[in-house]
Amino acid sequence: MDRIVIKDLCARCIIGVNQDERREKQDVTISLSIFSDLSKPGQSDCFDDAIDYRGVKKRVLAMVENSKFFLIEALAEAIAEICLATSGVQKVRVRIDKPSALRFAKSVGVIIIRKGRS
């Protein structure tokens, strides 16, 4: 299936279960694979036939930066819902990395894949 890829979108949010994680925003990195049939916009070269990935990015960032989830799993689900609510999106793969989660590790992350209701 065709896909649009948004890689390493940086955001800051309250995320985590420890008290120190709940006080200040932390960095998270988000990567999305948005699955859709891209043949129509590919042939027409018309924006109206395409998925507005800039709009998706704006909605995701607005939600993330105002969120206060305890788990990155829950944050990933909320991001997937935003993507799947976009017309033409059939499936989404969401990866979230939390760079400061573990000492001696570059990051800790989750990957989820969700399908639209069709």
pLDDT (tens digit per residue) in 59-114: 999 999 999 999 999 999 999 999 999 999 999 999 999 998 888 999 999 999 99
- CATH of residue 80: 3.30.1130.10
The mean per-residue pLDDT over the stretch 29-49 comes to 97
As a residue count, the chain comes to 118
CB atoms near residue 49 (< 10 Å): 14
CB atoms near residue 57 (< 10 Å): 14
Taking the chain, what is the end-to-end CA distance rounded to the nearest angstrom?
16
Q: What range defines the domain where residue 52 resides?
A: 3-115
Domain count, the chain: 1
Q: Which of 57, 91, 98, 115 is catalytic?
A: 98
pTM metric for this prediction? 0.94
Is 40 assigned a catalytic role? no
pLDDT at 100: 81
List the one residue out of 108, 114, 118, 113 whose CA is nearest residue 17: 108
pLDDT at 27: 96
The conformation of residue 72, written as its DSSP 8-state character, comes to H
pLDDT at 118: 58
